[in-house]
Structure 1
Amino acid sequence: MNRTDRLYALVEELRAVAPRPRSAHRLAEHFEVSVRTIERDISALQQSGVPIYAEPGRTGGYCLDKARTLPPVNLTPGEAVAMALALRRLDGTPFRSVAGSALRKLVAAMQTDDATAAHELAGRVHLFADDEAPATAVPRLVADALSTRRVLRIAYADREGAVTAREIEPLGYVGKAAHWYLVAWCRQRDALRVFRTDRITSVSVTAETPAPRALRREDLDIPAGKLSQLMLA
């Protein structure tokens, strides 16, 4: 077994018994290598971000945090290419910057032969450049607003170009083909407001975490049938 295959097999061995530990000696016997080799392999996996930790004591050993790892992802090559095509539509959305990393993680978790076939299939797919101008990219600090959960200080330009300073509490997003909007509680107006992201001329993140506020569909004042909520399943 070469080292790459052994590293993969080590993770799967630890995943199978998680959260129980496996000693370096037992792993060395299983993979027919030295204890020192196992220790080097575990260190390499830890440095690459695999959540493996050591439990001390006579019955200790190496443990894998099963909740933070993906099992082998059995995507077909066609499914992987379909996801790549779907993610191309995220240009101009708050999630463009993380879409690529998500796809790379999924492809990296595929079986080697399937991943190779997916790359070959993707190389046979060609797209026309869009006739319309692409949507304006969402500033990174705005794109991360719901994840960081902090009060933002922004400068915002209205339709006439007049710029005002605001302190806002981000609550959600509303997306259209051409523009994305950040829904937030505006402290200057003491009310819910919607900010077109390409009109946010500057943004900074404060250290303040605002009190939780609910965001209901009816709060958006958008006619029924015009809005749908994103679902993960």
Structure 2
Amino acid sequence: MRLDRLFSITMMLLNRKRISATDLAARFEVSLRTIYRDMETINRAGIPVVSFSGSDGGYEIMQSYRLDRQYLSLEDLYSIYSALRGMQSATGDTGMAELLDRIGALISDKLHDLDTSGMLLDFAPASGSKGHLRTLHLAIKELRLVELDYMDIHGAETQRMVEPMGLYLKSNAWYLWGYCRVRFALRVFRLSRMNRVRVMSETFSRRGLSIEDIDADRARSGTPPCIRVRLRFQAAVKTRVRDEFLPDQLMSGPDGTILADACYYSKESAIQHLMSFGTNATLLAPSELVDDFRKQIAEIAKIYS
């Protein structure tokens, strides 16, 4: 608790001109003697706190201190608060809720000075994945193995035993990355493809790996990191194209079409994505994938012949 209090006091000093020991004692429900000791601790930590006596006395950070008093401004704190609130709504992390309460207490009396309508962040996944997200978040914190009933891109269902390393949000979809004990390699799992998630009682020691190691692991196993393709889209789907591709992947054509250089981790995912655009998309390269695409179209045509 003392560390939390010291952090909160420092934040308050950074964002207020001056605050009295009495106000601090009342805010944190401790004695004045405790506040005096806390101020000595903050000073010893290298943050120069100056005390002033009199009716308008109190504590403030020395004006000449190299850390700008607005290093964490009201806008900064509200941005942090909004991001944490979005994450807390997605994960249900009670520890994050306590942190939100502490930051909220710092800004609650100043919100009238701030336009809070500019950005609202909602990281919550689709309703079917929300329970998975909270379960996996807890398993990561507690270093517990998880057993997944997982459906791959081909629709095949497999059972995986995974050491969960982390969660990330990309293109409105949540993913788990971790070490798969079935494949003996780092793998990425999309939450919407998980039919069942079971947290095991067995714990594990976290490996010295990061998410950047996934591509390196694929290369070592002989799996190409991705299939690079070139696509041409008609102007009718330009809004969707801009939603689904990065700006540096796109180039406007002279006839109003859009060229895209994209990367897919399997030819099946590339073909499925391309087919979803219908006649508004053309696969230009590589030639091997163009041939596979023609065969796929021919197989579909047989169904309706």
The normalised TM-score by structure 2 is 0.42
Change over 3 Å in CA distance of 1:181–1:76 after alignment to 2: same
Indicate the structure whose relative CO is greater, using CA pairs within 8 Å and at least 6 residues apart. 1
- The letter for the 1-side match of 2:117 is H
User: 2:89 and 2:156 mapped to 1: Cα distance?
Assistant: 24
Aligned to 1:103: 100
Cα distance in structure 1, aligned partners of 2:103 and 2:96: 11
Alignment partner, residue 195 of structure 1 = 189
1:197: how far off? 1.9
* Higher radius of gyration, 1 or 2: 2
1:184 offset after TM fit, Å?
1.5
C-alpha distance in structure 1 between counterparts of 2:170 and 2:119, whole Å: 21
User: What do the CA deviations read for 1:31-68 (whole angstroms, capped 9, x no partner)?
Assistant: xxxxxxxxxxxxxxxxxxxxxxxxxxxxxxxxxxxxxx
1:114-125 to 2 correspondences below 5 Å: 115-118=108-111, 120-121=112-113, 124-125=115-116
Q: Secondary structure at the match of 2:202?
A: coil
More strand, by proportion: 2
Could you tell me how far 1:205 is from its partner in structure 2?
1.9
* Larger relative helix fraction: 2
CA distance in 1 between counterparts of 2:202 and 2:104 reads 38
Q: CA RMSD in A?
A: 4.1
Cα 1:158–1:217 shift into 2, 3 Å: closer
Structure 1 residues 94 and 197: CA distance shift in structure 2, 3 A: farther
Q: Is the 8 A contact 1:181 1:196 kept in 2?
A: yes
What fraction of aligned residue pairs are identical, expressed as a percent?
26
Say whether residues 1:79 and 2:101 are aligned partners: no
Q: Which residue of 2 aligns with 1:231?
A: none
Gaps of 5+ in 2: 1-21, 42-70, 216-224, 227-247, 250-305
Q: How does 1:63-78 map to 2 (within 5 A)?
A: 76-78=73-75
Secondary structure of residue in 2 paired with 1:172? strand
Q: CA deviation at 1:176?
A: 1.0
Deviations 1:163-193 (A, max 9, x none): 3322111123343131122111212222221
Q: Could you tell me which runs of 5 or more consecutive residues in structure 1 were left unpaired when the two chains were aligned.
A: 19-73, 227-233
Change (3 A) 1:133 1:159: farther
Partner of 2:206: 212
